[in-house]
Structure 1
């Protein structure tokens, strides 16, 4: 009992019920921070360090004000939380006030004052506590291990020993350099991720989620299993903008999951489909869960190149989810949605075509301008005419805009905290040169085998990603696992895209499958069963990264012939594997036919020339056999009743 109580004490907190004064403070702080960072994205100059201090102070204060200390704590006002929020603002305010002094000192040479060291330690402790509340004790324990290594690593023997660092050296590197707490991860969160999160929040406030749902409904609602297909398409469209699997599940799943259940889908399957479809939004351009922006910073590859390269695998992923839904619906004899529930696409576009303007501007801006933050800011500004048309009252317009800004900044709390603590890990790794040692360790663990090294890296990314936002998982994994992959001779882009895929899939990987748990609360089903089934529905996402690591034609790196044959082979494999797993392809399948399709899919999934040809021949032969069986079933006479 004592151990269970301890687990509850250190468990993540829950959302707090805010009274009027707290709501006013949270709303004001959120709107001010969002407006400031949007203004910076538009081009208004603010010193980078000062903006990061303001952002981190706001994120920490919001984390303490809106999240309880643990699940057992009361959800009403807590003076401890107020004290921690005020301490966070004071700590970051100290760094802002001392910025003119700190600009003149030489890093790692000039001494830090005792007050500098004290303020830095307080800030690090506050980041650790906010992480424990918002994400969990696991990540905090991981960071403490790295910090302990920085302090005591000189006492180790062998390859993992380092020269030793004083307290001042550690603080100087982690807090006063651009390689630690205020490094690339927090920089991208503040100046890139926030813009797109705010855009998604504003779009949702202005009815964007309803628009995506209506478009999906008009396209596939009248097909067999239409409700499930609508969930797949609408979650993909909305997720490609929001980039957050959990937010996508809560937003689109709130009406798609009950609709799937009402049309005959089991609650577990409905939750799994929504979880898998929402998780894929972090893989689909233009936003890709914001990890692509971090990838640009880590690799130096332009964002447009990353987005174009990631497009085909993301479309194959959604093809797989769609086919899983399609075959399951036919196998279970599900009905399409009624005509009254499915509007025509022309009617939807005639009514809401203005929603295409900000989305088009966003896509054009991130691909053409090579300034994603500016493109996101323009897209946010282009949403204002929408709210003016939707809301006739000036008061309602102002309320909608302010609510969207507040929602966006509050949605950044988890991401901001995770990126801050990821900066501590990255800083420790760069200071102690632990990255190369870990890469060597991964290679040694796998006995020098390339495939075992890749599998080990995938497991490391999934374990790191349990309960964490995709950008933070990528930031950690990019310095822990990517060097080991690149040392195998794999190109930088596929190696980092590999990490993005497994970082995203951690949202549905048991036991800490945050997207599945969010879906379970709506579907009223077991979250672990939902997560396991979601992994099966999303199986292709666990396979594609291994393919484009060795066959970059899948990410459009190669000749036209290689790209066409590779993509065609993988697309046929997706059809074959989903048919085998769901038990339907033209007709209901017995175990023999499912086994044959599984073999054909396995041959096609390996994009080698001979195996692809053999797999394609097998697939065509099985399809012809099933077609003839289907025709025979149609032509067979109906037996008369006894």
Structure 2
């Protein structure tokens, strides 16, 4: 009974598409990819029309490629086709009506009956697509917020709000940029899409192989080489793809079987890959969807966010790499690379051209601060690389078309998550629930900064147990960020704190997308992998607190403050990881491990006190 109930909450699985169905999906996906890549290059289309296209295409692809739940048949169904056709029809209707909507006076001109019906249908379609792509848990969360918007006027006390009519709710949620078509969906369509397409094309051009070979040449000859290769290659590839799931599927197909063959358990191998891949969403230059949302929500240039995120991301990988290294020493694991494994210089000499698109991406992100255009230019530089690798124009063309197809399919989950997050954000704005929850958090913590941070962490982690990263950040940024800002925590650290924990939702059970992806390759229990991920990354969960109290870790402050903060944080991380793994040149006893924990925490507390006093 319990297993059946859990299955009903789980997302659906991929359909076995026939030739006709796959052709329809490919036409929609390829056309959508071309359209949004052209937008990234600077072709002008009214943003609302672009979002209409995006939501119609994403919903149609979601219905045609994903079943209702894991137990549903994977063949063609009438409902899925009907839902896909209606999704496209709604998008076309909104596009045709857009000139009229542009002239409408907000909250003065009402909605006609057809507009109201179209709005309700779109909300239902988004919720159904969410159930399929993400799971029923998120749908239930969203329905709670929508119910609050409808019935909140019946409450008493601080959570009461004025009565809202159905027409008013539909207007705010669907027909303004405060709800479904708000910043989250706009960032997904107009910014994240370009980076997902770049990562997909990089993969098609052999970028995954390049990063694996480079990592193998760097650390493959060391003890526990396969696990270290997984950490390094996943970090390198993930910093470009920005997607933990994509990272696991790409690099994990090499690293997980290799780790298992050299003595690691399937659960631990999957956890290493999932944990390392999740860090890619925190590592510049691309980072993940949440970082782009942060830039749009806060108005902070993406280049500033990327620069500030460098050291925390490197500390994350230091903690994971060191944990893997110490585990290899304890278990006496062998290297993966042989004596004839190419050196780093050899790998770079044969595949140096993969650095060109990465250089273009980093340069334009940091100097021009036009991330989507940067990704588009990097994509353009990948086309000749694809030709060099394939050495056959026809085959290269087919690979390019497949990459365009895959890009939209990979965007489906992100797009649905951002759309459904918009429903909640719109409801929060109408009812002022954001301010009420923030005030409640502040009162609950009695104004204590550390306690407020802990409560915010708990909120983000709880949200992360049922939502993907974009939705987690979109909600947490309006629920928890105001309470952090009320403590005079600067805007960048406060939101980066939320981005960090939102990204960690990829390895936080019970809905840990990176762990589930790794479980498929490792043939292990995804829940066990998720729990092992949390253990492996336990020290990494402290890093956001480090940069809140030590802004030097975010490269904020004088050179002396920055250096002192980084050195202190590094020593503290090393001490805590050694205590966690129980090894420092030799196995450690309980007393020594406790002393190392005390040392790590004392260093962090001392540096925090110094920063506060300064």
**Structure 2 length-normalised TM:** 0.97
- When structure 1 is superposed on structure 2, of 583-592 and 258-267 the one drifting more is 583-592
Looking at structure 1, the residues matched to 568 and 391 of structure 2 have their Cα atoms a distance apart, in angstroms, of 53
Correspondence for 1:324: 323
Residue 307, structure 1, aligned to residue 306, structure 2? yes
Looking at structure 1, the residues matched to 293 and 411 of structure 2 have their Cα atoms a distance apart, in angstroms, of 15
Correspondence for 2:402: 403
After superposition, residues 54-93 of structure 1 pair within 5 angstroms as 54-93=53-92
Listed one character per residue, the Cα deviations across residues 517-570 of structure 1 (whole Å, up to 9, x for unaligned) are 222222223333322222122123210111211221111111211111111111
SS at match of 1:251: helix
- When structure 1 is superposed on structure 2, of 228-237 and 263-272 the one drifting more is 263-272
Correspondence for 2:153: 154
After superposition, residues 345-356 of structure 1 pair within 5 angstroms as 345-356=344-355
* Displacement of 1:7: 5.1
Listed one character per residue, the Cα deviations across residues 133-163 of structure 1 (whole Å, up to 9, x for unaligned) are 1111111111111111111212211111112
* Displacement of 1:511: 2.3
Correspondence for 1:624: none
Looking at structure 1, the residues matched to 451 and 489 of structure 2 have their Cα atoms a distance apart, in angstroms, of 14
Listed one character per residue, the Cα deviations across residues 584-623 of structure 1 (whole Å, up to 9, x for unaligned) are 21223233333332222222232438999xxxxxxxxxxx
Looking at structure 2, the residues matched to 189 and 80 of structure 1 have their Cα atoms a distance apart, in angstroms, of 27
Q: Is the 8 A contact 2:242 2:288 kept in 1?
A: yes
Looking at structure 2, the residues matched to 547 and 413 of structure 1 have their Cα atoms a distance apart, in angstroms, of 35
Q: Is the 8 A contact 1:569 1:607 kept in 2?
A: no
Residue 22, structure 1, aligned to residue 21, structure 2? yes
Max Rg structure: 1
Listed one character per residue, the Cα deviations across residues 461-486 of structure 1 (whole Å, up to 9, x for unaligned) are 11112253322221111111111111
SS at match of 1:164: coil
Correspondence for 1:431: 430
- When structure 1 is superposed on structure 2, of 232-241 and 285-294 the one drifting more is 285-294
Looking at structure 1, the residues matched to 465 and 565 of structure 2 have their Cα atoms a distance apart, in angstroms, of 32
Residue 263, structure 1, aligned to residue 240, structure 2? no
Residue 581, structure 1, aligned to residue 580, structure 2? yes
Residue 569, structure 1, aligned to residue 577, structure 2? no
SS at match of 1:288: coil
SS at match of 1:158: coil
Q: Is the 8 A contact 2:234 2:276 kept in 1?
A: yes
Q: Is the 8 A contact 1:551 1:607 kept in 2?
A: no
* Displacement of 1:9: 4.2
Q: Is the 8 A contact 1:323 1:575 kept in 2?
A: yes
Looking at structure 2, the residues matched to 9 and 467 of structure 1 have their Cα atoms a distance apart, in angstroms, of 14
Looking at structure 2, the residues matched to 357 and 24 of structure 1 have their Cα atoms a distance apart, in angstroms, of 34
Correspondence for 1:638: none
SS at match of 1:342: coil
Unaligned 5+ residue runs, structure 1?
613-642
After superposition, residues 308-387 of structure 1 pair within 5 angstroms as 308-340=307-339, 342-387=341-386
Return structure 1 stretches of 4+ with deviation > 6 angstroms.
609-612
Q: Is the 8 A contact 1:490 1:550 kept in 2?
A: no
Correspondence for 1:228: 227
Looking at structure 2, the residues matched to 370 and 465 of structure 1 have their Cα atoms a distance apart, in angstroms, of 29
* Displacement of 1:49: 0.8
Q: Is the 8 A contact 1:580 1:598 kept in 2?
A: yes
* Displacement of 1:198: 0.7
* Displacement of 1:436: 0.3
Aligned alpha-carbon RMSD (Å): 1.7
Correspondence for 1:45: 44
Looking at structure 2, the residues matched to 591 and 104 of structure 1 have their Cα atoms a distance apart, in angstroms, of 71
After superposition, residues 579-618 of structure 1 pair within 5 angstroms as 579-608=578-607
Looking at structure 2, the residues matched to 529 and 73 of structure 1 have their Cα atoms a distance apart, in angstroms, of 25
SS at match of 2:263: coil
Residue 496, structure 1, aligned to residue 495, structure 2? yes
Looking at structure 2, the residues matched to 10 and 260 of structure 1 have their Cα atoms a distance apart, in angstroms, of 32
After superposition, residues 467-506 of structure 1 pair within 5 angstroms as 467-506=466-505
Looking at structure 1, the residues matched to 340 and 176 of structure 2 have their Cα atoms a distance apart, in angstroms, of 57
Listed one character per residue, the Cα deviations across residues 20-59 of structure 1 (whole Å, up to 9, x for unaligned) are 0011011110010010011011111111111100000000
After superposition, residues 159-170 of structure 1 pair within 5 angstroms as 159-170=158-169
Q: Is the 8 A contact 2:290 2:499 kept in 1?
A: yes
SS at match of 1:336: coil
Looking at structure 2, the residues matched to 177 and 276 of structure 1 have their Cα atoms a distance apart, in angstroms, of 38
Correspondence for 1:548: 547
- When structure 1 is superposed on structure 2, of 585-594 and 73-82 the one drifting more is 585-594
Task: Provide closer, same or farther for how the CA distance between residues 609 and 460 of structure 1 changes in structure 2, counting only shifts above 3 A.
Answer: closer
SS at match of 1:246: helix
Correspondence for 2:144: 145
Looking at structure 2, the residues matched to 279 and 451 of structure 1 have their Cα atoms a distance apart, in angstroms, of 26
Looking at structure 2, the residues matched to 551 and 454 of structure 1 have their Cα atoms a distance apart, in angstroms, of 14
Residue 118, structure 1, aligned to residue 126, structure 2? no
Correspondence for 1:272: 271
* Displacement of 1:250: 1.5
Q: Is the 8 A contact 2:62 2:133 kept in 1?
A: yes
Unaligned 5+ residue runs, structure 2?
none
Listed one character per residue, the Cα deviations across residues 299-336 of structure 1 (whole Å, up to 9, x for unaligned) are 11111111111101111111111111111111221222
**Structure 1 length-normalised TM:** 0.92
Task: Provide closer, same or farther for how the CA distance between residues 588 and 383 of structure 1 changes in structure 2, counting only shifts above 3 A.
Answer: same
